[in-house]
Amino acid sequence: MNEQLKLLIRLQEIDLSISSLNEKIKSLPNRLKKVMTSFKEASEALEKVKIKYEELNKKKKSCEHGLEEIEINIKKLKERIKDIKTNKEYNAHLKEIESAEKNKYQIEEEILSIMESIEILTGGLKEEDRKIKIVEENLKHEEKALEDEGKALYSEIEAYKAKRKDLEGLIKNGNEELYEKYTTLLITKDGIAVVETSNEVCKGCHTNIPPQLYNDIKNNHGIFSCYNCNRILYCKSEEGKESG
């Protein structure tokens, strides 16, 4: 195989690897974003339960305060019985006491209901707190994992860049115009400057290659380009290997 062509093929492989690694690096924040979304949702769920818990506790305290006032009022009403002189006043007073005690009973029932709800919410708080701790731990783990993965990817890119620099020097020494052509194609052809041919078809643009040109390409002895997309072509067929 033509030495310059061999170098270009290797250079293309390295550039594709670097591009692939860069795409992986770009995707890292999205992976973290998913975990952060889960953490946010868990935090919001916990906050909702906390707010409901606080509301019920405030309501319970308000009911307890109201109950204290009613109990004081009932006590005063009962103490006043001894000062009542007529049956009419006495009956009216008893009705007032009965109404107050009825209110007391209703408030006591409401307090019991609130306490039951608080007990259920206490269990809910524990469960939501458990969930958020798990998500928080996952977030910390994912942050560390992504940081390590990012470092590894950057390290791999640097290693490829070092190899690329060597190849770039070799190609430029042999034919600087060829390297410039490769660079231009890399920019204008979505990072694909060197492509394989198979069955008389350019795998870059999927255009048929004239038979004579294809025969020349199969030998891999020269640098040939696709007449349609202008990408540099090579052949990995058995014929091409034998000729190389």
- Confidence tier at 34 by pLDDT (50, 70, 90): confident
The residues near 49 (Cβ < 8 Å, ≥ 6 apart) are 121, 124, 125, 128
CA angle 227, 228, 230 (to 5 degrees): 65
Mean pLDDT of 215-236: 91
Is 37 exposed, middle or buried (CB count within 10 Å of its CB: 0-12, 13-18, 19+)?
exposed
Mean pLDDT, the chain, rounded, equals 90
pLDDT digits (tens, 9 = 90+) for 92-143: 889 999 999 999 999 999 999 999 999 999 998 898 888 889 988 988 999 9
Would you place residue 30 in the very low, low, confident or very high pLDDT band (cuts 50, 70, 90)? Answer: confident
> What's the DSSP call for residue 64?
H
What pLDDT shows up at residue 102? 94
Mean pLDDT, rounded, for 200-210: 94
Confidence of residue 242 (pLDDT cuts 50, 70, 90): very low
Q: Is 40 exposed, middle or buried (0-12, 13-18, 19+ CB in 10 A)?
A: exposed
What's residue 237's pLDDT? 56
Q: Which CATH number is 17-174 given?
A: 1.10.287.1490
Cα gap 141→53, rounded to integer Å: 31
Is a pLDDT exceeding 50 seen at residue 179?
A: yes
pTM of the shown model: 0.67
* Residue 165 pLDDT level (bands cut at 50, 70, 90): very high
> 183-206: string of b/e by CB count within 10 Å (b at 16+)?
eebbeebeebbbbbbeeeebebee
Q: Between β-strands 232-235 and 194-198, what pairing exists: parallel, antiparallel or unpaired?
A: parallel
Residue ranges of E strands in 90-215: 194-198, 201-202
* Domain positions in the chain: 17-174, 194-243
Coil/strand/helix, residue 81 = helix
Tell me the per-residue pLDDT of 35-83, one tens digit each, with 9 for 90 and over: 888 888 888 888 988 999 999 999 999 999 999 999 999 999 888 888 8
